[in-house]
Chains A and B, each alone.
Chain A
Amino acid sequence: MDIGLSCRLGDQDAIDVGYVRALAETMEAVGFASMWVPEHIVFFSQYKSKYPYSEDGTPPFGADIGLFDSLLVFAAAAQVTTKLRFATSVMVLPERPALLTAKEVMTLDHLTKGRYQLGAGSGWSQEEYEALGTSFEKRGKRFDEYILAIKAAWTQDNASFHGEFVNFDNVVLLPKPYTPGGPPFIIGGDSDPAMRRAATIGDGWYSWWKGYEIEPHIEKFRAVMEKHNRSFDGYHLKIGSPHRGEPRKP
């Protein structure tokens, strides 16, 4: 089993490209398999939205957090590594334009020579959606459409897609991704809709182990996979977890 590391870059001292490159090089040298970088496009000093991974719904960060765009971080990190994989943990996909994202991720797929996996989720911050001019209410349906539309643009010569949120005909997006079919969609989120999405149109699932027992949670997901006749063969099952409990060496 591979061990990946979630990194926050763009905050305090971690803001120059030299550090990004040194971090990636060292991660690869000591044996980490992948670098994961979270995504929020903007933050707020106060939220009405409930953060799903804390007991009182308060996010564990303030508005003063710095965070680089993950795709650009990976473009820099890929230049000094050869094996380290990259994943966004997770891109709030429905906030972004679908075809622009298809283009950016296709480009990163080439720059990394197939080492990027598209961690994607529907997010939780209504404030962020509204600031970006996108409806929060139908984010799940938008998310489903985006995945299918992006895959269409990556795989069809003259791509067409018709949905409630995305509509295009005879779109040409070249070059096609370095990875045949495009980088895998690793669906993040522990809600029932996230599990359903991961089991139906996702290529993998990223569960965040915090505040619940992991074994029954994974069993629940296995049942969802079975319900949708989805096999785990070739499927990307990822589990992430925060960890603070280890005594540090001096």
Chain B
Amino acid sequence: MIKKVETVKKLGAEEFVIAVPVEPKTMERDLRFWAEAAGIKG
């Protein structure tokens, strides 16, 4: 994931939109996982 983020950043995009699995029963855990994977500093 982070490689994709870095690639898109170098291309000059203002935003990278990820489509990843987020399940209702584990929503908060999933969101925190993917945020960390994408390098979001919370």
Contact = CB atoms under 8 A, between A and B. Distances in A.
A31 B37 contact: no
Interface stretch (A153-161, A189-197, A240-248): A240-248
Given A1-B8, A30-B32, A243 B40 contact: no
A131 interface: no
A70 interface: no
A142 B13 CA distance: 28
Interface stretch (A3-11, A101-109, A121-129, A166-174): A3-11
A249 B37 CA distance: 11
A31 B41 CA distance: 7
The main secondary structure of chain A at its interface with chain B is: mixed
Contacts of A26: 27-28, 31
Contacts of B41: 31
A14 B26 CA distance: 12
Given A4-B15, A30-B42, A243 B1 contact: yes
B34 A5 contact: yes
Interface string B16-42: 111111111101110111110111111
Nearest to A232: B12
Contacts of B20: 5-6, 242-244, 246
The main secondary structure of chain B at its interface with chain A is: mixed
A215 B11 contact: yes
A241 B4 contact: yes
Contacts of B42: 29-31
A239 B20 CA distance: 14
Interface string A218-229: 100000000000
B14 A30 contact: no
Nearest to B8: A239
A242 B1 CA distance: 10
Interface string A24-43: 00110111111010000000
Interface of B: 1, 4-5, 7-9, 11-25, 27-29, 31-35, 37-42
Given A3-B5, A243-B18, 9 more contacts: A1-B13, A4-B18, A5-B18, A5-B20, A5-B34, A31-B41, A242-B19, A244-B20, A244-B21
